[in-house]
Structure 1
Amino acid sequence: MDSLLEEVVSCPYCGESIRVLIDHQEAGQQYIEDCQVCCRPITFSLRVDAMGYMSVTVYDENETV
């Protein structure tokens, strides 16, 4: 199974839709990646539900999760 998934997320700063590659093996973790448009740091939170579906949530650096 290919562990990389392409997702489209909206930057919490500039609102632009950006494409990112998500590694399914990093489920349950958080990491920071800069926006490809405005270069501000986006916090990514990766979760897998009981059915095995990946969800990706993005936050700005000042938001609490």
Structure 2
Amino acid sequence: MSGAHHFPAHRTIYDFRPRHLEEFTELFTWIVRLAREVGLIKLGTIAVDGNKLKAKIGRHAKR
């Protein structure tokens, strides 16, 4: 029985993923290549710094 309120057990997904890792890798690579070819994405380098800035709004301020 399947439906909106039925979900696979955590263990089912946990066991499935490593068994099919090669297929997932191939599928992901294919999707990224296709998205790049049709102009949906642009591959490059992204840099993220870890600077912390003091917030100008209080934690309990109304927004």
TM-score tier by shorter-chain length is: under 0.3
Task: Tell me the TM-score normalized by structure 2.
Answer: 0.18
Point out which structure has higher relative CO (alpha carbons under 8 A, 6+ apart): 1
Larger radius of gyration: 2
Q: TM-score, normalised by structure 1?
A: 0.18
